[in-house]
Amino acid sequence: KQEVTQIPAALSVPEGENLVLNCSFTDSAIYNLQWFRQDPGKGLTSLLLIQSSQREQTSGRLNASLDKSSGRSTLYIAASQPGDSATYLCAVRLRNTNAGKSTFGDGTTLTVKP
Amino acid sequence: GAGVSQSPSNKVTEKGKDVELRCDPISGHTALYWYRQSLGQGLEFLIYFQGNSAPDKSGLPSDRFSAERTGGSVSTLTIQRTQQEDSAVYLCASSLSYSNQPQHFGDGTRLSIL
C-alpha cells in the first residue's frame, strides 16, 4: 500500500525566503507525482506534474524534483511571497493500467509573513 | 476557460436521507475522479471514470456510495441512507486522459449530515 508523507506539517517563513517542502512515498513504482496548493475553502490548484521518467519540473518560482529510488520529491519555492501562503499537497499515482487512484500526503501548511 | 464545476457548493441534510452531488468536468476531459476530504482523514480517492466506464471503484467506502457518468461528461455521486461519518468535502477532478496529464479540481461540495 502506497503511503505518502509530507514534512513538515506546518512552516512559517518571512517574505523573500527560499524554502523547500518535502514529500516521501513508500512504493517507487509510480506513474507520476503531482504538487498542488489548496487555499482555505477551495479545491486544489495544480502546480506541477512530474512524470516517472523525469527528474524535475519548473514553473516560474517553483521547482519540483523527483528521486524515485529514494522515494522522495521536493518542491522548492524561490523568493516566497505572502500570496504563497496555502497548504501544499503532493499526490502519487502508482503504475497500474486501470488504477485511477492518487494517494495524497496530508500537506504542509505554509505561512509567509510580510 | 471554465474549470471543473461542482454543485451544490454546500449541502446540509438529515441522517438517513439520500444525496446527489454533481460534477461538470472541463470540456474535453475524458478522465474524471471523485475524492473525499475530511478532518483527520486527508484526501481519499473514491472512484475514477475513463469516459463513461469506471475501471477503478476501489475507494468507494460502502455500497451506499455509487457514481455514474453519462455522455462522457457530467458525473453524479450518490450517497444513500447518509450517516454522520459521511460528512466531508467531496472533490471532483478531471484530466485530459488517463495518461500523464494533471488533474484539475473543482471547489468541492461541503456535505454536512445532521
pLDDT at B42 (0 to 100)? 83
Give chain A positions within 8 Å (CB) of B55: 98, 100
**CB contact (8 A) between residue A101 and residue B50:** no
pLDDT in tens, B39-71: 867 899 999 998 888 888 888 999 999 999 988
CA distance A48 to A69: 20
pLDDT at A98 (0 to 100)? 59
pLDDT at B2 (0 to 100)? 82
Three-state secondary-structure class, residue B97: coil
Average predicted confidence (pLDDT) for chain A: 93
pLDDT in tens, B69-79: 988 899 999 99
Nearest CA in chain A to B46: A101
Confidence of residue B98 (pLDDT cuts 50, 70, 90): low
Give chain B positions within 8 Å (CB) of A49: 100-102
Q: Cβ(A110)–Cβ(A88) under 8 Å?
A: yes
CA distance A84 to A75: 13
CA distance B27 to B31: 11
Residue type, A53: S
Residue B26 scores a pLDDT above 90: yes
pLDDT in tens, A28-72: 888 899 999 999 888 899 999 999 999 999 999 999 999 999 999
Q: A60 to chain B nearest CA, in Å? A: 17
Average predicted confidence (pLDDT) for chain B: 92
Q: Which member of A41, A42, A100 has the closest CB to residue B33?
A: A100
Confidence of residue B27 (pLDDT cuts 50, 70, 90): very high
Q: B54 to chain A nearest CA, in Å? A: 9
CA distances from A48 to B10, B64, B103 (A): 29, 35, 10
Question: Please, what is the end-to-end C-alpha distance for chain A in angstroms?
Answer: 41
C-alpha cell at B61: 467506502
pLDDT in tens, A25-37: 998 888 899 999 9
Task: Report long-range pairs for B54-58 (Cβ below 8 Å, ≥24 apart).
Answer: B55/A98, B55/A100, B56/A98, B56/A99, B56/A100, B56/A101, B58/A99, B58/A101
> Which H or E run includes A72?
strand A72-77
pLDDT at B35 (0 to 100)? 95
**CB contact (8 A) between residue A100 and residue B105:** no
pLDDT at A102 (0 to 100)? 87
pLDDT at B47 (0 to 100)? 93
Task: Report long-range pairs for B1-8 (Cβ below 8 Å, ≥24 apart).
Answer: B1/B26, B1/B27, B2/B26, B2/B27, B3/B104, B3/B106, B4/A43, B4/B92, B4/B93, B4/B94, B4/B104, B4/B105, B4/B106, B5/B106, B6/B90, B6/B91, B6/B92, B6/B106, B6/B107, B6/B108, B6/B109, B7/B109, B8/B109
**CB contact (8 A) between residue B105 and residue A36:** yes
C-alpha cell at B51: 469516459
Q: A96 to chain B nearest CA, in Å? A: 11
